[in-house]
Chains A and B, each alone.
Chain A
């Protein structure tokens, strides 16, 4: 971009001779990198593991593209499965591609993702635009994504439903001081269509007037066919003078199913010696139940909408995580600018207020812990 503008005029000739050949601000493309990760989740009778590969490459000037291949190999003997069905194994494969385009200080991103498993296929399209302003101190991002899902059933081959998701996203990142960054995020999401599991049943008393007569799982769940939610979060990251960073974030979520959730997260990043980085995280999450959720209904036709998905109950969870990263070459190696080996371990404690362990006659309150493990290598080139 060529602009020949000045404020002072020391001489018309000189002004005419001055040229701003390249004017800022202009954006920087995301770094070229590749990651190979093994992930594992083990908790509540559910075991999910698999690989995730990402490759990103740009032309150094305007374009950058990335591809991600992700697999979940699922072995599920979760409490719902044990009380209502039988353990199963399944695989979910997800492909995601995206392209970034930079023009001056605007970055545009378009992406597509496909997720495939035996009873659920989804296609998601997303577009976002990111604008840097005020000397690159502020970045505003606006995004929209549309998802189209096909829901089927492993037990009923004639079962075919669909669901649509629309997500409006706004975020603002602000440099507050030389050492402090703030990121504000907002997502408005609407879902429409078949929004629950075709398998899950609600728990209903055998005798509406006598709880001690036991219960059954004969009645399938019914959910509303729309859901609208809003979530807003604020995240800070602060540089400590001895070279470390402390992170803190809070998110508030609310939707028209009456679920209200809060979560707060803190983290500490600490470089060790020359090539190690260690990070600690703690997260606390709590949510209120959906208004049509109940652990135990009296009547099978008690309400228009009935759910017993523990993810819609009133519960809280806490996470403690630690991550370690090692820089293999201090200054790169041949074609590689940088390479790291990383391991992350997290433990999540789930504690349900109104979801019971129905494997036992008196159905005590349910809780479980999950162990998450990530092992990955990253290279930059």
Chain B
């Protein structure tokens, strides 16, 4: 029993070190290059296509009503949209839920001004290889993916603003 415990102790120590090594693994599954085109139904009922926004800077934000950081982020994205939209910027809020009911309820209480699209079949989530919730992709005026943010923590909105300004100036 004592040798077993010593073994476990050693394993725990090794595992702690091993886990610290693995801790830095980054996901970069979305590739650089042209942003894949898609068409989704929006909150207003009309179909919106990504390529229609060529010439503008586009932020694609993948979110869900059950995702706390997504809910935290939305009002800040709305502010960003209202500030830069006149300069040729738009946000496409892609809701990834199979059933849009909760999302629509949430939008009634916390409305946003940018277009919200419903990816009920997860086609666009798969197309963009979404590996984190939320995920935010910045597409430049030529339709190329330039920045990727996976997850949301308070403070990220500063880099969003910085990057949007940069892409608008191009």
CB distance from A171 to the nearest CB of B (A): 12
Complex Cα–Cα for A28 and B66 (A): 14
In whole angstroms, what is the CA distance A28 to B68 when docked?
9
A228 to B4, CA, bound (A): 11
CA distance A61 to B30 in the complex (A): 25
B131 at the interface (CB under 8 A from A): yes
Most buried by A among B32, B109, B146: B32
Nearest CB of chain A from residue B169's CB, rounded to whole Å: 14
Interface string of B136-151 (1 = CB under 8 A from A): 0000000011111111
Q: Please judge, given known A-B contacts A3-B26, A105-B23, whether A17 and B146 are in contact too, CB under 8 Å.
A: yes
Residue B2 is within 8 A (CB to CB) of chain A in the complex: yes
- Verify A60–B154 contact, CB threshold 8 A: yes
B33 at the interface (CB under 8 A from A): yes
Stretch among A18-26, A89-97, A209-217 lining the B interface = A18-26
Shortest A336–chain B CB gap in Å is 15
Q: A24-B132, A331-B109 are in contact. Are A131 and B154 (CB under 8 A)?
A: no
Contacts of B132 in A (CB 8 A): 24-25
Residue from B19, B27, B33 in contact with A8 in the complex, judged by beta carbons closer than 8 Å: B33
Give, as a whole number of angstroms, the nearest-CB distance from B102 to chain A.
11
A:35-89 near B, CB below 8 Å: 60-61
B117 to chain A, nearest CB (A): 22
Cβ of B15 within 8 Å of any chain A Cβ, yes or no, is yes
Q: How far is the CA of A61 from the CA of B157 in the complex (A)?
A: 13
B144 to A: closest C-beta gap in Å: 6
Chain A residues, Cβ within 8 Å of B27: 23-25, 135
Minimum CB–CB distance for A142 against chain B, Å:
5
Q: For chains A and B in complex, what number of residue pairs have CB atoms within 8 angstroms?
A: 118
Given A6-B28, A15-B32, A188-B5, the answer on whether A21 and B148 have CB atoms closer than 8 Å is yes
A7 contact set on B, CB distance < 8 A: 31
- Chain B facing A: main interface SS: mixed
A160 touches B (CB below 8 Å): no
A190 adjacent to chain B (CB < 8 Å): yes
Within 114-170 of B, Cβ neighbours of A (below 8 Å) are at 131-132, 135, 144-151, 153-156, 159, 163
Residues of B within 8 A of A15 (CB): 32
Q: At the interface, yes or no: B24 with Cβ under 8 Å from chain A?
A: yes
Residues of B within 8 A of A170 (CB): 8, 12, 15
Within the complex, the shortest CB–CB distance from A128 to chain B, in Å, comes to 10
> Which residues from chain B sit less than 8 Å from chain A, CB to CB?
1-2, 5, 8-9, 12, 15-16, 19-20, 22-28, 30-34, 68-69, 109, 131-132, 135, 144-151, 153-156, 159, 163
Query: Which 6 residue pairs across A and B have the least CB separation, nearest first?
Result: A18-B32, A24-B132, A24-B150, A23-B26, A10-B33, A131-B19
Contacts A26-B153, A142-B15 aside, 19 further interface pairs with beta carbons under 8 A come to A6-B31, A8-B31, A8-B32, A10-B32, A18-B31, A18-B32, A18-B147, A19-B147, A20-B28, A20-B147, A22-B153, A23-B26, A24-B135, A28-B68, A104-B24, A105-B23, A142-B16, A170-B15, A228-B1
Q: What are 27 A-B pairs with beta-carbon distances under 8 A? A: A1-B24, A5-B28, A6-B31, A6-B32, A8-B31, A19-B147, A19-B148, A21-B148, A21-B159, A22-B148, A22-B153, A23-B28, A24-B27, A24-B151, A25-B27, A26-B150, A61-B153, A106-B23, A131-B23, A133-B25, A135-B27, A168-B5, A168-B12, A170-B15, A188-B5, A228-B2, A331-B109
